[in-house]
């Protein structure tokens, strides 16, 4: 008796292409996407982008930069990419800071004037040494930590002679040939070291107050983006999760077209004064309005509960919200127009939206993905919408800076509308 | 002879519906095969035929929802899918084409607005429809909560919200209990009394006989007979009566014998036409001599069912 039950269920599954796709295609697609994102293939392991500004132009600064460039996990840029074939000047502290704010790279390293005079120092000499500045975007919590650690490593490995020279200088200064006097001074120095260690073991505050103590080079880091945000990642997740659910809502709302086609209401509507173009426009307005309302609710919730800085960003939010809602609404119309029945729509929408969301950054930030995946993400509505909302809420950019995202989202919306209109011809007449 | 341009003729004088040489194919299937038909003003024309005869396709062609492969359809002189034709035409589809989550009033308001009605005109039209369909007291009820008969009545009302001059009713009583059916008949008769022109499709002969001035019998996409009920019967049977005989044994020899006697045989039932009742005795005698046992025999006046069987050799409800 069990066999006929299994056979019947298998036949049912085989004939339900949506269920079949959800059962077999979606898991494979998801596995592939996340395997690629998390570096399943060595050659796609993401590199951390770093901008370097050399204000010192000394031998030591150049050797430090060469050492950084040799690090396989870093992608080092000293100047912006050429524009129309024209080489651009090297980054300055100001242009590098602007580039971090614009999201070109998450971190910029500024090697100050005088670095070469005293690049590596320990003990008392630490007080006078120049400090390398690390300008960072605090939305990327990984890259600055990686770079700070690598910098100390590079300092020690890229300048061994300087390390030796500094070592003998300190040896000469503290030991002086190990005369009795020298021994006394060493003892005194060790005693001082012991006292310091003892004091530090009493709490972490001293070390925390000066993270460069004991490090060969001095580095200070400063947030240049998001420094005043109470909850740095909330704007990202409001946009990321919001857009994904917008897509689901729009596909469901677009499905009302299929409901009407299946019930015969569509025929009745089209036999009135309403044309297919008018009907689609009406449905698009409904889907877009619903999507925009959902975004408003999501961001107001984030403002009230997670202290998102909403009020000053309302103009940017409205521009991005309307553009996103339009693109998402058009997406819903296309999905509905492709499907023959409501039953087909559910699995197809789930399949497409989850793939778009995983590539487009709704589930995992795109800046942590391999470069190829980041580029692939640009084929999705999610990526452009999230980038736009990030500009508004994270980078505090003015509305005028949103034009690339707005243009793409509106363009995508128009193209999808045209496709939906074309596909909807099958409902017009038989 | 020069004819007057259509624009100069008052619409009241134009034929509500004129179909000429209409053909519609779906792949290999010819659903409508050269139909030519005219509907007079204030007339109710029945389209009578079995399921799959082409009635709904013909109706959908009139509504402009089907593009014909050949032929023309004009409504009060205008092309079927033109704006003018849409306003003049009301369509009650066979399916319950309603929004189930909306109330009766909301449904009517939506369809009214789709037809361009606004404010006062819309309110008046909705009130008239609710009254006509006897749903005024259920106006605020969501459609999904209504009984089958109520849904059917609302479905009809939604097709009439813009008060069209020509109404197409596609099997409006499908799946309706006898009591609700009678109520629907009364609604339709009320429209007839108002002089509205109507096409009424059905495969129930009683409905066609009760409601329609003329009846077109349609089969395999063709109109095989057209006229009043009496004309159709007279043309098919003249003054003859109909004898229906059911045989105890159903086999090929029975069918062959019936055919040999000039009758029609379908599914164990034979139909003969006779001039005088006295001919029944001869028929019984011949059947006995041929070795065929009769289970039941009856004499009746021919009706539309008989006409359909006579013309097609098939039962109307096949």
Q: What is the pLDDT of residues A1-48, one digit of tens each?
A: 677 677 777 777 777 777 777 667 766 776 677 667 665 555 555 678
> Which residue in A has a C-alpha nearest to residue B98's C-alpha?
A265
The yes-or-no verdict on residue B9 having pLDDT over 70 is: no
Q: Determine which of A271, A276, A428 to mutate to test the interface with B (most B C-beta atoms within 10 Å).
A: A271
Q: What does chain A come to in residues? A: 430
Give the separation between CA B60 and CA B69, rounded to whole angstroms: 13
B31, B83, B90, B93: which to substitute to probe chain A, counting the most A Cβ within 10 Å?
A: B93
Q: Which residues are paired to A133 by β-bridges?
A: A110, A220
Provide the pLDDT for residue B1. Answer: 40
CB contact under 8 A, B99 and A430: no
Mean pLDDT of B191-202: 91
- CB contact (8 A) between residue A274 and residue B97: no
* Torsion sign, CA atoms A418, A420, A423, A424: negative
**What pLDDT is attached to residue B92?**
93
Mean pLDDT over each residue of chain B, to the nearest integer: 87
Q: A189-203, A311-325, B145-159: which range is least confident on average? A: A189-203
Dihedral pair phi/psi, residue A152, rounded to 5°:
-65, -40
How many residues make up chain B in this entry? 318
B114 to chain A: which residues are within 8 Å by CB? 269, 272-274
**Maximum distance among all Cα pairs of chain B, rounded to whole angstroms:** 77
Q: How far apart are CA B88 and CA A261, in angstroms?
A: 24
Residue A356 has pLDDT above 90, yes or no: yes
Residues of chain B with pLDDT > 90, as a percent, come to: 45
- Per-residue confidence (pLDDT) for residue A416, from 0 to 100: 96
Distance CA A369, CA A359 (A): 9
Stretch A87-91: mean pLDDT: 86
Region A76-105 average pLDDT = 84
pLDDT band at B25 (very low <50, low <70, confident <90, very high): very high
Q: What is the mean pLDDT of residues A285-312?
A: 88
Q: Alpha-carbon distance B303 to B201, whole Å? A: 18
d(CA B213, CA B144): 35
Least confident of A116-130, B45-59, B161-175: A116-130
* Amino acid A318: pLDDT: 96
pLDDT band for position B13 (cuts 50, 70, 90) = low
Give per-residue pLDDT as tens, B54-100: 888 999 999 988 889 999 999 998 988 888 888 999 999 988 999 98
What mean pLDDT comes out for the span B186-197?
Answer: 91
Higher pLDDT, A399 or A173: A399
pLDDT at B4: 45
pTM here? 0.73
Residue A343 region by backbone torsions, left for phi larger than 0, else alpha for psi between -120 and 50, else beta: alpha
pLDDT beyond 90 at A330: yes
For chains A and B, CB pairs below 8 A equal 54
Q: What pLDDT digit, counting tens, does each position of A364-412 carry?
A: 888 778 778 888 999 999 999 999 998 898 888 899 999 999 999 999 9
| Integer Cα distance of B84 and A263 in angstroms | 26
Q: How far apart are CA A430 and CA B9, in angstroms?
A: 32
CA–CA gap between residue A376 and residue A57 (Å, rounded)? 39
Identify whether the C-beta of residue A388 lies closer than 8 Å to the C-beta of residue A402. yes
Smallest CA–CA separation between A318 and chain B, in Å?
31
Q: What are B187's two structure tokens?
A: 């609604």
User: Which phi-psi region, left, alpha or beta, contains residue B226 (left: φ > 0; alpha: ψ -120 to 50)?
Assistant: beta
Band (pLDDT 50/70/90 cuts) for residue A238 is: confident
> Between A172 and B14, where is the model more confident?
B14
pLDDT in tens, A109-156: 888 888 887 777 665 555 667 788 888 887 777 777 788 888 877 777
Residues in A whose CB is inside 8 Å of some CB of B read 263-265, 267-274, 429-430
Smallest CA–CA distance from B57 into chain A, residue: A430
Is there a contact between B96 and A264 if contact means CB atoms under 8 Å apart?
yes
Average the pLDDT over B15-23 and give the result. Answer: 93
CA distances from A332 to A46, A249, A322, A368 (A): 33, 8, 15, 29
């Amino acid at each position: 008796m069990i066999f006929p039950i299994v056979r019947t269920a298998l036949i049912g599954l085989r004939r339900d292409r949506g269920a079949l796709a959800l059962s077999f295609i979606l898991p494979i697609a998801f596995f592939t996407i996340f395997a690629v994102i998390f570096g399943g293939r060595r050659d796609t392991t993401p590199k951390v982008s770093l901008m370097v500004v050399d204000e010192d132009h000394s031998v030591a600064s150049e050797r430090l930069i060469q050492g950084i460039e040799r690090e396989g996990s870093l992608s080092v840029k000293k100047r912006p990419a050429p524009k129309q074939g024209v080489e651009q000047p090297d980054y300055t502290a100001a242009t590098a800071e602007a580039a971090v704010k614009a999201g070109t790279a998450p971190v910029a390293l500024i090697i100050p004037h005088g670095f070469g005079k005293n690049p590596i120092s320990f003990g008392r000499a630490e007080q006078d040494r120049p400090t390398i500045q690390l300008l960072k975007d605090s939305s990327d919590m990984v890259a600055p930590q990686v770079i700070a650690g690598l910098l100390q490593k590079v300092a020690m490995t890229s300048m061994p002679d300087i390390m030796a020279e500094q070592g003998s200088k300190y040896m000469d200064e503290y030991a002086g040939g190990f005369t009795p006097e020298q021994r006394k001074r060493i003892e005194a120095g060790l005693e001082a070291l012991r006292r310091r260690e003892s004091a530090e073991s009493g709490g972490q505050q001293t070390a925390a107050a000066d993270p460069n103590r004991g490090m060969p080079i001095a580095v200070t880091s400063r947030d240049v983006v998001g420094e005043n945000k109470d909850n740095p990642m909330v704007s990202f997740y409001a946009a990321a999760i919001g857009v994904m659910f917008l897509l689901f809502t729009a596909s469901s709302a677009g499905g009302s077209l299929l409901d009407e086609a299946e019930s015969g209401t569509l025929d009745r509507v089209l036999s009135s004064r309403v044309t297919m173009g008018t009907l689609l426009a009406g449905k698009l307005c409904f889907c877009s309005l619903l999507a925009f309302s959902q975004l408003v609710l999501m961001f107001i919730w984030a403002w009230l509960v997670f202290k998102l800085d909403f009020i000053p960003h309302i103009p940017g939010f409205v521009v991005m919200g309307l553009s996103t809602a339009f693109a998402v609404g058009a997406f819903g119309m296309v999905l509905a127009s492709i499907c023959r029945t409501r039953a087909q729509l559910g699995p197809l929408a789930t399949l497409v939206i989850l793939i778009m969301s995983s590539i487009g950054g709704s589930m995992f930030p795109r800046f942590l993905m391999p470069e190829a995946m980041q580029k692939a993400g640009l084929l999705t509505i999610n990526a452009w919408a999230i980038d736009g909302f990030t500009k508004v809420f994270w980078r505090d950019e003015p509305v005028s800076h949103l034009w690339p995202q707005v243009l793409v989202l509106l363009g995508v919306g128009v193209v999808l509308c045209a496709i939906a209109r074309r596909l909807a011809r099958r409902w017009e007449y038989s | 002879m020069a004819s007057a341009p259509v624009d100069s003729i008052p619409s009241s004088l134009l034929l509500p519906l004129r179909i000429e040489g209409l053909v519609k194919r779906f792949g290999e299937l010819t659903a409508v095969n050269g139909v030519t038909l005219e509907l007079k003003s204030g007339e109710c024309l029945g389209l009578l035929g079995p399921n799959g005869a082409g009635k709904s396709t013909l109706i959908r062609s009139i509504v402009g929802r089907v593009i014909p492969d050949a032929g023309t359809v004009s409504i009060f002189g205008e092309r079927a899918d033109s704006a003018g034709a849409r306003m003049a035409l009301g369509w009650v589809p066979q399916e319950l084409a309603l929004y189930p989550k909306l109330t009766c009033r909301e449904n009517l308001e939506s369809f009214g607005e789709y037809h361009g009605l606004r404010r006062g005109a819309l309110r008046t039209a909705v009130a008239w429809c609710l009254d006509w369909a006897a749903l005024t007291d259920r106006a605020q009820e969501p459609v999904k909560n209504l009984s089958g008969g109520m849904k059917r009545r609302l479905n009809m009302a939604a097709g009439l919200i813009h008060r069209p001059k020509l109404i197409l009713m596609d099997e409006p009583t499908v799946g309706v209990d006898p009591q609700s059916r009678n109520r629907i008949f009364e609604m339709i008769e009320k429209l007839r009394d108002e002089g509205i022109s109507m096409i009424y499709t059905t495969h129930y002969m009683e409905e066609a006989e009760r409601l329609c001035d003329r009846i077109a019998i349609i089969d395999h996409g063709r109109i095989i007979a057209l006229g009043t009920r009496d004309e159709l019967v007279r043309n098919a049977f003249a003054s003859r009566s109909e004898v229906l005989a059911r045989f105890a044994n159903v086999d090929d020899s029975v069918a062959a014998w019936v055919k040999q006697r000039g009758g029609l045989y379908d599914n164990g039932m034979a139909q003969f036409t006779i001039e005088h009742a006295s001919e029944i005795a001869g028929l019984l005698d011949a059947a006995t001599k041929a070795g065929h046992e009769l289970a039941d025999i009856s004499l009746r006046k021919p009706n539309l069912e008989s006409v359909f069987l006579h013309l097609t050799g098939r039962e109307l409800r096949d």
